[in-house]
Amino acid sequence: MAEILFERGGVALEATPGTPITAPTYYLPARMVLSPRQTVYRPEESRGTRAQFYRSKVVKQWSEWSLDAAGADVYTLPVLLNMAVASVTSPTTPTGATTARLWTFTRSQTSVTERTGTLFWGDPNVQSFRAAYGVVDGFSITGDASGDEAVTMAFNGRARALEKIATPTWPAQLVGPLVTPLESQLWLDTTSPIGTTAINGRVISAAFSVDGLRGDPKFVFAGPSASKTPARFGIGRTAATLRLRFELLDTAQYDLLMNESVVKARVRFNGPQIEPGFYHYIEIDIYGMLDEPEWGEFAGTNRSFDVTITSQYDATAGHDWSIKVQNDRTGL
């Protein structure tokens, strides 16, 4: 029988979208599930009996995959962001650094540069599966200083129909250091460049998320005995959100809301030091107004203030949101 604890999840970035890779090149450390999906046509017919259906036929097949919320991994994240945001195959070296490397993911506003991936999953003692043309539909990165978890990440997406395969050769697990919320930083700016005005001593949590990155699957005529799986996945307009929670020490953030200010927000989830002055981190930039205000409670005794930033295009930056990952990896 298939044992959940033996299940493995992995991915290989595809050179040609939809052309499957033989074996995974990246082992995904969080719990993954790759699930079959299909639609069945059952015609309504009148044959003089109480049975509602007499015939059925599978007309479409595809897969859905998810990576459960787990500790954000600064080694795995760049691979997944290649599928979710933009193709980045090599990092830059920050000024003054020797071993630190910076991966910058900013989606193109006028073209599709995101990579596709072949996904692998299963208990190798029973059955392994793979699905080509894997795409990311949405993901989240969350850090909550009031909780007891590290910074977490979660991903979900779709792929072509999964297929049974012989157990592939799995790569070694490459697991990066954990990133914890208490070491995080936030900057909120209006007229100054992003990353100028630090907000200290009051930020409780930050939760970034984006969904709908890919459109509906595209099914087209493909001839006799053709696969019933999608030919392609489209792409549409999407906005990301950053949900922030502050302890209400004064009305500074409330005033930004009431003044209808468009802010430039930068949240950085810091991890261990790589070398003096340089740390592992995940950094998110987003532009937009403070919205969806809510009062809350902090630690059972104090008032908190929640707001959401929904991304909008910033002409100076040339985008509405972007993500950077700093680690010590020279390659994916």
Q: State how far the Cα of 267 lies from the Cα of 205, in Å rounded to an integer.
A: 10
Place of tokens 């409330």: 254
Q: How much of the chain, in percent, has pLDDT values that exceed 90?
A: 94
pLDDT score, position 222? 87
Bridging pattern class, strands 321-327 and 57-71: unpaired
What CA–CA distance (Å, rounded) separates 18 from 27?
20
CB 213 within 8 A of CB 194: no
pLDDT in tens, 121-143: 999 999 999 999 999 999 999 99
pLDDT over threshold 90, residue 1: no
Q: Would you say residue 267 has pLDDT above 90?
A: yes
The pLDDT assigned to 227 comes to 87
Give 57's pLDDT tier (boundaries 50, 70, 90): very high
Separation CA 174–CA 178 (nearest Å): 13
Report residue 225's pLDDT band, with 50, 70 and 90 as the boundaries. Answer: confident
Rounded CA separation 297/258 (Å) = 21
